[in-house]
């Protein structure tokens, strides 16, 4: 069985992420969407909230499993039998960063391959950081996040939106 992992902080999950999950899920028998904590980021949503939003927004993809994870990605991948890491790329700057990470991964765990999937152009400008900033100030989120996530953001920032 080919098992892949699509890791990220997903704070929050965007339509761009969902597109990568849909396309990536066709490359493996099982795709684990793993919510990792990032010590350099201050999340808006808890790990449990991010997992719940991912489960809700990916339930249409039959071979996806959502989980949270701590520690090193290579150790998590090996402990789950995964040999493929799936990463979405929006721009050249993403590629430079992800390319270095993929080379490091290959150095420490040669059995793991990294697969890059280019973002759909309609989502190439969407980032979780941008979404958080928009929501924080009550901005429009139309078409950038799943409806369920939009409602969760509007509830989280209820002082900025008329919910």
Q: What are phi and psi of 120, to 5 degrees?
A: -60, 140
Given the residues 41, 59, 122, 158, the one annotated as active site: 41
Phi, psi of 146, rounded to the nearest 5 degrees: -60, 150
Exactly one of 25, 128, 132, 152 is catalytic; name it.
128
Residue with tokens 């490359």: 27
Active site residue 55: no
CA angle 130, 58, 1 (to 5 degrees): 120
144 Cβ neighbours under 8 A, 6+ residues apart: 14, 15, 123, 126, 131, 134
Mark the binding-site residues for ATP, compressed into ranges.
9-10, 17, 88-90, 98, 123-129
| Residues contributing to the annotated binding site for substrate | 9, 41, 73, 87
Active site residue 60: no
**152 flagged as catalytic:** no
For residues 128 and 63, give the distance between their C-alpha atoms in angstroms, rounded to a whole number: 24
Detail the residues annotated as belonging to a binding site. 9-10, 17, 41, 73, 87-90, 98, 123-129
Task: Give every CB contact of residue 121 below 8 A, 6+ residues apart in sequence.
Answer: none
Determine the Cα angle at 139 with ends 133 and 142, to 5°.
Answer: 110
User: Known catalytic residues?
Assistant: 17, 41, 90, 128
């Amino acid at each position: 069985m080919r098992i892949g992992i699509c890791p990220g902080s997903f704070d929050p999950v965007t339509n761009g992420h969902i597109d990568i999950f849909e396309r990536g899920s066709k490359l493996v028998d099982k795709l684990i969407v793993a919510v990792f904590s990032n010590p350099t980021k201050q999340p808006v949503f808890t790990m449990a909230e991010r997992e719940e939003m991912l489960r809700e927004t990916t339930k249409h993809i039959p071979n996806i499993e959502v989980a949270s994870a701590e520690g090193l990605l290579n150790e998590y991948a090996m402990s789950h039998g995964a040999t493929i890491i799936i990463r979405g790329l929006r721009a050249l700057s993403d590629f430079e960063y992800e390319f270095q990470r993929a080379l490091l991964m290959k150095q420490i765990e040669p059995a793991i391959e990294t697969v890059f999937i280019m973002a759909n152009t309609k989502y190439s400008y969407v980032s979780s950081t941008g979404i958080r900033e928009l929501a924080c100030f009550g901005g429009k989120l139309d078409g950038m996040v799943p409806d369920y996530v939009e409602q969760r953001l509007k509830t989280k920032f209820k002082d900025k939106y008329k919910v």
